[in-house]
Amino acid sequence: MTHSPLQEAGAVAVRPGKRERLVAAAVQLIHRQGIERTTLAEIAELADVRPGNVFYYFKTKDDVVAAVVEAHTQQVRATLAAITSAHRSPKARLKALVHDLAGKSEIVARYGCPSGSLSSEIDKRADASDFAVADLMLSIIDWAEGQFREMGHSGDARELAIDLLAAYQGNALLTNTMRDPKILSGAARRLDRWIDAL
């Protein structure tokens, strides 16, 4: 969430608009209980918005799901941009990404990877192509590919990027299935060593 100049100057915090609150509530609820079990009424309640007002912003539940996908994609891109600006070398950036992902191990153990779970759930739907869910994964793959290229891996940068994301997603699935955050923490240490060895 971005802050207004008044907030940064110490003024009273401005409450996010209704649409922003609805999307934030939907992101949280869909991650915790899935698309099918999440109702528009629950989203409205968590967002502190009257249920009838939901339809002003979203005509259908699918519109809410599309907004959740977009919110996840924007968050991923913002995280990657922050990592890029905070670290000078591509190796340090890749390791920062691994640590960022592993930093969510407690949440992943309880509810699964937010992006991975959402992608998997949407993929099972007949209308999966209506959602830009692949962008969630492609954003990370494209970015990581660029980092591997900078490290001199021009011939296999794409494959290395896919391997990195696949290793995280696989370990995130096991972390959630076993309800054990240490699985993801251990995977992060191994990925660190793998990046160092490249």
Q: Is residue 64 part of a domain?
A: no
Cβ–Cβ under 8 Å, residues 55 and 152: no
Alpha helices per DSSP H over 48-156 = 54-57, 61-86, 90-102, 105-111, 114-123, 134-150
User: Domain for residue 67, yes or no?
Assistant: no
| Count of domains forming the chain | 2
Q: Which tokens belong to 157?
A: 């940068």
Range of the structural domain that residue 46 is part of: 1-59
Q: In this predicted model, what pLDDT tens digit does every residue of 89-140 receive, in sequence order?
A: 999 999 999 999 999 999 999 999 999 999 999 998 888 888 888 888 999 9
Q: Is 68 contained in some domain?
A: no
What pLDDT score does 4 carry? Answer: 42
For the cut 80, the answer to whether the pLDDT of residue 12 exceeds it is: no
Counts for the chain of helices (H) and strands (E), in that order? 11, 0
Q: What is the CATH number of the domain that holds 2?
A: 1.10.10.60
pLDDT at 57 exceeding the cut of 90: yes
Q: pLDDT over 90 for what percent of the chain?
A: 85
Kindly state whether residues 46 and 119 are assigned to the same domain: no
The per-residue pLDDT of the chain, averaged, comes to: 93
Q: Is the same domain home to 91 and 185?
A: yes
